[in-house]
Chains A and B, each alone.
Chain A
Amino acid sequence: MAEAWWAVARSEEVTSAKPINVDIGDQPIVLWRDQQGAVHALEDRCPHRRTPLSLGCVLGNGMIQCGYHGWTYDGATGHLKDIPNLKSDVKFPALYRAIPFAVAESGGFVRVCLDAKAPAPLLVAKTLPLSGTVNVALEHEHYIAALFDDPSLVLAIKGVRFTPYLLAELAEHEGKLVLERSCQWAGFHWPSPFSSDFPITLRIATDPVTGECDLLLRDDGFRPLLFATLAPVPAARGVTQIRWRATLEDNRHGMRAKLLGAGTPFSVHSTIDGAALRVLKPSASIHAATLRNEITARSAQTSAA
């Protein structure tokens, strides 16, 4: 978890007007944007009296000020820069600082790595226009497993019904966990267990550590219809925070594909149906943990070499 880059916010959620609080697991983080537009991430805890820095404010110089006693921190280093009531220019020892985290922003996501010295992640050039954030009361690992075994429990694509049938089960492909599920257009049709072929598929390519997924919906001519990125992040109390972005392909063939553009084409559920989840049989997800371990072990070996 320490070296992973987590998409903890959508770009538009982070402003210089008010800091926000996010989590990576049990680590609370405060995020804000300075006047130059750069995003900063510190532990969301003032080292003075442990109050959340996110309850404070962003100063005109881009620093964050605790709302309790006004202690003021530099976003890049976390160093304490000012205690307003001291009325002095005293320099503070290096120990006086909040823990800083590495930040990267691209593709409409703000990503944070708990290791401040981590190498920067690959930049994502395109920002998908549709977006949202939901908090789901389900642990990260179970959330990903639900996505693998039955996407309808966690998301909806307008007019699309997910079938229980895969064209490719979960396997490693270029360092990601990839599967491809057969889908039908919603409405009256021959039931999926008796269908010979399906008109659309959903490919899900998942980062083995963060669970960040690239979703690709395409038709049976292999033409893309919709792209989405789903970024689930483990948060406090077993909640998973999900930020997502999506876009429709402009050139879609067929009436049903064209209708994707009417209304809301993509959404992520903020609640999960516990009754359905409880009886959901593990299928695509069942080897996910093994695959994850294999990928991360190989990655660790490569890094060591």
Chain B
Amino acid sequence: MLDVKDAAITDDYIDPVTADPREFAAKVNAWVPHDIVLKDAWFPLAHSFAITEKPVRRAIYSQPYFLWREGKTAVAAEFHPSEGLQGGKSEFTDAAGRYPVIEKYGYAWCWFGNPANAAPEHIPSLPYLPEDGGLPLHMLGTVRFDCTAPLSLENLIDLTHADFLHADVVGDEKMDKETVEVFHDSETITMVRTCVNKSVAPIMRRFGGVKVDVQQVRQVIRIYLRSHAAIAYGRFSPGDNVQLFHPCVPETRDRTRLDYAINTRNVKKTNLFRYLMPKASYKVSRQDSYMTSPQSPRYMQPEKRKDLHSPLDEAGQKYRVLMLALAERQARGDFAYHVNVSADCSEIIGYDGK
């Protein structure tokens, strides 16, 4: 379905966020996420536990992936094993019709792009997930968003939506002060939201043993642009930290699959929050989809009418521009990574291992 061109490594990278304010604004408003198909990326297509001898079928931008185990090794192929290798094999697979696969962090990561460019260092750093997996099943799950993957991520990186859409789970907008900082490079964007004296998240009040009225909150969203995968890390005081991995796999350009992991091993075993927080995804994802599903068709075609923005949209705006810049770079044949996304990002997200 898609062409794969050879990577052309260039060192003349110009930061699209700082290059030209007018161009930046134009790109923010030229956002047609439906048209963005980034290649040469690892996607966490399945939890490791889901891969057995029986093939399961997954997709990235409609490109078929069949995953199963041969012995203990996970394999991914373009065709169902009962079909065998078909004549129409794409450029995404090797001569045997197989994709590069790596198991890490409890996921089978499959490469979408030129197989020759698949390298382990392009797998994102996820500091709070055990590299060899092994999280209990109650911390893992699958939810789906009825929208295009970049809209899911733009929704995530603007956490002010949570105060309204998910107020019954994570708390409302009442707080004394809110600051948002945004950091980026060519492959990632990181948003840090600090809230002073924010109303306590109901799920923490009811099940997490938090008895006070307000919390100090530091929330970090870090998106690995190509992989459409995000870290959502929240520090709550008082309260337990929330360690969510939020990968948005674009099964098609208008549907997103999310095989999430919420590592609540940091929470006491006697605390219900440890078991219920991962299940909150079922509620939160439907709340998100309630908004992003009708939003999605409205971002499928270019529009002359511009979106309106507030200062709180900085992260979302930069996310748009960085995604477009990557897409434009790939359209020119440049698929190179200019940063090492697998380098430990603990310091960036403020994760101290606890």
Binding site for B on A (CB under 8 A): 164-169, 171, 192-197, 220-223, 281-284, 286-287
Contact = CB atoms under 8 A, between A and B. Distances in A.
A194 B144 contact: yes
A283 B57 CA distance: 21
B114 interface: no
Contacts of A195: 142, 144
A221 B82 contact: yes
Chain B interface, >50% SS class: mixed
A166 B62 CA distance: 8
Interface in B1-40: 1
Nearest to A221: B82
B253 A169 contact: yes
Contact of A197 (B56, B83, B296): B56
Contact of A281 (B80, B259, B296): B296
B19 to A, nearest CB: 32
Given A167-B64, A169-B62, A282-B297, A192 B144 contact: yes
Chain A interface, >50% SS class: mixed
A283 B293 CA distance: 9
Contact of B300 (A196, A222, A286): A286
Given A194-B143, A283-B254, 15 more contacts: A164-B144, A164-B255, A165-B255, A166-B255, A167-B57, A167-B59, A168-B62, A168-B64, A194-B144, A194-B285, A195-B142, A221-B80, A223-B82, A281-B293, A283-B296
Contact of A220 (B57, B62, B144, B296): B57
Nearest to B282: A194
B194 interface: no
A196 B50 contact: yes
Contacts of B282: 194
B251 A167 contact: yes
B90 interface: no
Listed from nearest, the 8 A-B pairs whose CB atoms lie closest are A169-B252, A168-B62, A196-B142, A222-B80, A193-B144, A166-B252, A283-B254, A282-B297
A286 B142 contact: no
B240 interface: no
A103 to B, nearest CB: 35
Nearest to A164: B146
Contacts of A167: 57, 59, 62, 64, 251-252
Contacts of B125: none
21 contacts: A165-B257, A166-B254, A167-B57, A167-B59, A167-B251, A168-B64, A169-B62, A169-B253, A169-B255, A193-B143, A193-B144, A193-B146, A193-B286, A196-B46, A196-B47, A196-B259, A222-B80, A222-B82, A222-B83, A281-B297, A282-B300
Given A281-B297, A283-B297, A169 B143 contact: no
A170 to B, nearest CB: 9
A197 B51 CA distance: 11
- Range for the number of chain B residues in contact with chain A: 20 to 34
Contacts of A284: 254
B142 A194 contact: yes
Contacts of A192: 144
Interface in B286-305: 286, 289, 293-294, 296-297, 300-301
Contacts, number: 79
B297 A286 contact: yes
B141 interface: yes
A168 B59 contact: yes
The CB with the most chain B CB atoms within 10 A, among A164, A192, A196, is that of A196
A283 B147 CA distance: 9
Nearest to B257: A165
B1 A166 contact: no
A168 B83 CA distance: 17
Interface in B243-263: 251-255, 257, 259
Given A167-B59, A167-B62, A286-B297, A193 B289 contact: yes
A195 B83 CA distance: 25
B82 A171 contact: no
A171 B1 contact: yes
Nearest to A192: B144
Contact of B62 (A171, A194, A223): A171
Nearest to A180: B62
A168 B82 contact: no
The CB with the most chain A CB atoms within 10 A, among B62, B64, B251, is that of B62
Nearest to A196: B142
Interface in B26-76: 46-47, 50, 56-57, 59, 62, 64
A283 B251 CA distance: 13
Contacts of B83: 222
Contacts of B296: 281, 283
Contacts of A194: 141-144, 282, 285
A274 to B, nearest CB: 19
A167 B143 CA distance: 15
Interface in B107-149: 141-144, 146
B252 A168 contact: yes
A197 B50 CA distance: 9
Contacts of A286: 254, 297, 300-301
